[in-house]
A and B are shown apart, each in its own frame.
Chain A
Amino acid sequence: MEILVKRICRCLWQILHFLFSLYEVCLWVRLRIIAFALWSYDLCQTQTKRQQKEHDFLIHCKRQLSKIPKHLNLIIGPEIHGEVNEELLSRLFTYALYMNIECVSFYDTRLLGQKAESNTRVIDLCKVKCPSGWKSKNLDDHRALWYSAKSELSNGVNRSNGCVPTPLSNGCSKATTTNGHIATTNGSTNESCSSLMIYQIQPKDNHSLIADVCRNLFRERHTSEIQQLLQQRPQLTKRIDTDLQHHLQAVSEPELSIVFSETLCTYGTLPWHTRFTEFQRYPRGKYFDAESFATILYKYSRCEQRWGK
């Protein structure tokens, strides 16, 4: 009798699962049709015209937002195949530039399962193109800087020598009080910080990096400095934070993370830094354009951080 009940229950679960899957497929088909229509519409326009339109739209949206993240993080799930590619990231980074977001980091979890013979595509940062009027400089294999061609002309010393922007100069400072910066009221792009730092998070930047920091501290554990830190835990926390900042080179705590995956999960992304990050899942199959980016920022703008209070 018990086995029969179990079988019936399992069968009912399968029916429920099937109905939900069917609903999801219908939703996916609908999103793909819309995506095709939007893509065709974009194709009818010249790239410059489209970029100008998106720029104007996002500037208009910026006026209505109460806050904008300084550091935007992207997580690409392991089951996402070709949908998140260099072209999508190029578009997304461009929107981030228009919105004065100062740093975008992304973690491609497909890196983890990558095998030599596998067809899985992972993002190649060198192939992500910046929009016209902007220049891109690869600072190293995993970091790039997009900056205004105009600003290079005016203060080329800072931008063209490829120096790494410090947390203060690039504005990717630690968001400890505001969790995002306030959008400028006139909505104009602020040329003084018209650059975008792009960082590709590596698997070794996550838990392993904290273990590395622990290993370094362990090596010096008999010094008076470490012995003093052991007396006061907040000081030790501060030291770990500083060491991690040093290793990650100015990548601060992301305020917003967009997860491109079927499942909402952190996939182990920066466990030290994402404690107050707002996570939003982006549905599979949905076309990513300026409007969807603005929707994400609107949602983020409505989130209120309480900082434990």
Chain B
Amino acid sequence: MSWVSDYKYTWLQTLAMNVIKHGYRLPRHIAFVMDGNRRYANSQHIRKIEGHSKGFDKLADCLRWCLDIGIREVTTFAFSIENFKRSEEEVTGLLDLAREKFSKLLLEGPKLKEHGVRIRVIGNISLLPDDLQKLISQTMLETETNDKLFLNVAFSYTSRDEITHSIEEILRHGDGMHEDDISERLMDECLYSRHSPPPDLLFRTSGETRISDFLMWQLSSTVLYFTKILWPEITIWNFLAGIFTYQRDSLHMSSFKTQERLKRAAVSRNSNFYAEHVQNFLHRLDIYRRDILLKWSYL
């Protein structure tokens, strides 16, 4: 399967994987900022798009490691809305690469079902060309019943756009709701990443120490792990180092996470989050979003 590689482990890697897997609590959800493809291409004297292609191959390895170690949800930052500012040649190349990969995915439907991989694309898909919208919506619909590994691909995404979109959904479809029903808890449920828990670990390569407008809303109790390695050069050891850091850090984070959970419960209670009219609104929103996917898939 092209999206999940057939990685062959050495005995030492198998041992290390098992130590990390059984040692302590694993992150349920991990987010990757796959940075450094172009710098890798420059260092190897290859074209930028080949660097991105190598980066995709590495993502396939990472997904295999996640699947084998027992991480159920992965979110990757594939393409930012800000990336539309890049040269026309590079943007076209990246969109072509996405076309190629999503087309392959559609051909691999039975294998995805066997592995239980559900693909969700989060982002402002309406900014993409029609054919890509169609491919993306078909992929999402094809895999919507799978429930073992969730792969969220942030494509044409920025966090500000996501928060604005969440507010927009409430303003557009919120008839029947009261202003007191609006809270951060409701906004959580109107994000692109609705139905996903917040990431436990954010893994960014290439030595940058910023988040670059990725899942800003969701990162309140996420462990940030920045490593200097370029994304196409990432190895299983870098991956395991990130997980080990998370495991150790989560020991310090447990009380903060408990507070966050309590706060979230209090907000839900005070803002009528579980009231019937609010739940109806969220149900309507789900139907509306699925209808849009259906419309795009028949383009």
Residues of A within 8 A of B (CB): 5-6, 9-10, 12-14, 16-17, 20, 77-79, 109, 112-113, 206-208, 210-211, 213-215, 217-219, 221, 226, 230, 233, 236-237, 240, 261-268, 271-272, 274-280, 303, 305, 307-309
B55 CB → nearest A CB, Å: 16
Give the residues from 61 to 81 in chain B that come closer than 8 angstroms, CB to CB, to chain A: 80-81
A236 to chain B, nearest CB (A): 5
Distance A236 CA – B171 CA, assembled complex (angstroms): 11
Q: CB < 8 Å: which of A233, A265, A266 contacts B164? A: A233
Known: A16-B19, A279-B224. A113 touches B160 (CB 8 A): no
A240 to B164, CA, bound (A): 8
Q: How far is the CB of A252 from chain B (nearest CB, A)?
A: 15
The complex places the Cα of A262 from the Cα of B256 at a distance, in Å, of 12
Q: With a CB–CB cut-off of 8 A, which chain A residues contact B213?
A: 275-276
The answer on a CB contact under 8 Å between A275 and B256 is no
* 15 pairs of residues in contact across A and B, judged by CB atoms under 8 Å: A9-B22, A16-B23, A79-B255, A113-B259, A207-B217, A210-B167, A211-B183, A214-B171, A218-B171, A233-B161, A236-B168, A262-B249, A265-B223, A279-B210, A308-B84
| C-alpha gap A36/B262 in the complex (Å) | 39
Q: How far is the CA of A16 from the CA of B212 in the complex (A)?
A: 33
Chain A residues with CB under 8 Å of B172's CB are: 230
Cα of A240 to Cα of B247 in the assembled complex, Å: 37
| B167 engages A236 (CB within 8 Å) | yes
CB pair A277 B210 closer than 8 Å: yes
Q: State A258–B132 Cα separation when bound (angstroms).
A: 41
A122 to B135, CA, bound (A): 52
Q: Closest Cβ of chain B: how far from A83's Cβ, in Å?
A: 14
Picked from A12, A79, A214, the residue with its CB within 8 Å of the CB of B167 is A214
Known: A230-B168, A279-B210. 9 other contacts (CB 8 A): A16-B23, A112-B263, A221-B174, A240-B167, A268-B221, A275-B160, A276-B213, A308-B82, A309-B82
Provide the bound-state CA to CA distance between A205 and B209, in Å: 23
For B255, the chain A residues whose CB sits under 8 A away are 78-79, 113
Question: DSSP class of B's interface residues: helix, strand, loop or mixed?
Answer: helix
Query: Do residues B216 and A271 form an inter-chain contact, with CB atoms below 8 A?
Result: yes
Closest to B83 in A: A308
Q: Which 10 A-B pairs have the closest CB atoms?
A: A308-B82, A13-B23, A268-B220, A9-B22, A275-B213, A207-B184, A263-B249, A264-B224, A271-B216, A211-B184
Residue of B21, B81, B187, B252 contacting most chain A CB atoms (<10 Å): B252
Q: B184 to A218, Cβ gap below 8 A?
A: no
8 A Cβ contacts from B11-58 to A = 18-24
Interface size bracket, B side: 35 or more
Are A266's CB and B224's CB within 8 A? yes
B281 interface hit (Cβ, 8 Å): no
Contacts of B22 in A (CB 8 A): 5-6, 9-10, 13
Are B210's CB and A263's CB within 8 A?
no
Please indicate the chain B residues that have their CB under 8 angstroms from the CB of A305 in the complex. Answer: 210
Query: In the complex, what's the smallest C-beta–C-beta distance from B171 to chain A, in angstroms?
Result: 5
Q: Are B256 and A5 in contact (CB under 8 A)?
A: no
B217 contacts A20, CB within 8 Å? no
Taking a contact as CB atoms under 8 Å apart, the answer to whether B164 and A278 are in contact is no
Task: Determine whether the beta carbon of A214 is less than 8 Å from that of B182.
Answer: yes
**Most A Cβ at <10 Å: residue of B158, B212, B223:** B212
Contact B182–A215 (Cβ < 8 Å): yes
State whether the Cβ of B244 lies closer than 8 Å to any Cβ in chain A. yes
Tell me whether A309 and B86 are in contact in the complex, defined as CB-CB below 8 angstroms, given that A236-B164, A236-B167, A240-B167 are known contacts: yes
Q: Is the pair A219, B179 in contact by a Cβ cutoff of 8 Å?
A: yes
Q: CA separation between A16 and B183, bound complex, in Å? A: 43
Q: How far is the CA of A112 from the CA of B266 in the complex (A)?
A: 13
Q: Provide the residues of chain A in CB contact with B168, threshold 8 Å.
A: 230, 233, 236
B97 at the interface (CB under 8 A from A): no
Partner of A218, one of B86, B163, B174: B174
With A9-B18, A112-B259 known to touch, is A266 a contact of B222 (CB < 8 Å)?
yes
Question: Whole-angstrom distance from the CB of A39 to the nearest CB of chain B?
Answer: 26
Give the docked Cα–Cα distance between A112 and B257 (Å): 11
The reply to whether A9 and B171 contact each other, CB–CB distance below 8 Å, is: no
Asked whether B195 is an interface residue with its Cβ less than 8 Å from the other chain, the reply is no
Q: How far is the CB of B274 from chain A (nearest CB, A)?
A: 17
Given contact pairs A9-B22, A211-B184, A214-B167, A263 touches B86 in the complex (Cβ within 8 A): no
Complexed CA–CA distance, A39 and B175 (Å)? 62
Give Cα distance in the complex from A307 to B213, angstroms. 10
Q: Which residue of A lies closest to B124 (CB)?
A: A233
Which of B20, B124, B164, B249 has most A Cβ within 10 Å? B164
Could you tell me the distance in whole angstroms from the C-beta of A224 to the nearest C-beta in chain B?
Answer: 13
CB distance from A139 to the nearest CB of B (A): 27
Choose from B160, B220, B226, B260 the contact partner of A237 (Cβ within 8 Å): B160
Chain A residue at smallest Cβ distance from B249: A263
Contact in complex: B163, A210 (CB < 8 Å): yes
CB distance from B59 to the nearest CB of A (A): 20
- CB-CB nearest in chain B for A17: B248
Closest Cβ of chain B to A42, distance in Å, is: 29
Given A275-B212, A308-B86, answer yes or no on A20-B182 (Cβ-Cβ < 8 Å): no
